[in-house]
Amino acid sequence: MHSPFEILKKEPAGSFRRFEPVSDLASANIRIRELTTLSPGEYVVFDHRTHHDIAVRRSSFWLDARRE
C-alpha cells in the first residue's frame, strides 16, 4: 500500500531528501518528534494526495486533523 504522506528532511544545500513514508498525520507527528531528537534539522511532511508540503516548525509540530 502506498503511504499518502512522506517525511522529508531539508539538506544543507536547500533541497529536501526523502526520509520515510507515514500513513497518517498523527504518525508523522510522533515520528518527527523522535527524529528531531535524534537528528536535529528541518522537516516537512509531503502530502502525495494534494502534492503540497505541510510545514513543520523546529520547536513543535502540530497539524490540524481536519486536513486528513
Number of domains in the chain: 1
Instruction: Quickly state the pLDDT bin for 58 (edges 50, 70, 90).
Output: low
**Poorest-pLDDT segment among 11-25, 33-47, 50-64:** 50-64
Q: pLDDT value at position 21?
A: 94
Question: What is the rounded CA–CA span in Å between residue 14 and residue 30?
Answer: 24
Q: Which range of residues forms the domain containing residue 32?
A: 5-62
68 within a domain of the structure (yes/no) = no
Is position 53 within any domain?
yes
What DSSP assignment string belongs to 16-64?
Answer: EEEEEEESSHHHHHHHHHHHHHHS-S-EEEEETTTTEEEE--SS-----
pTM of the model: 0.74
- At residue 66 the predicted structure's pLDDT band, cuts being 50, 70 and 90, is very low
* Section 44-55 average pLDDT: 85
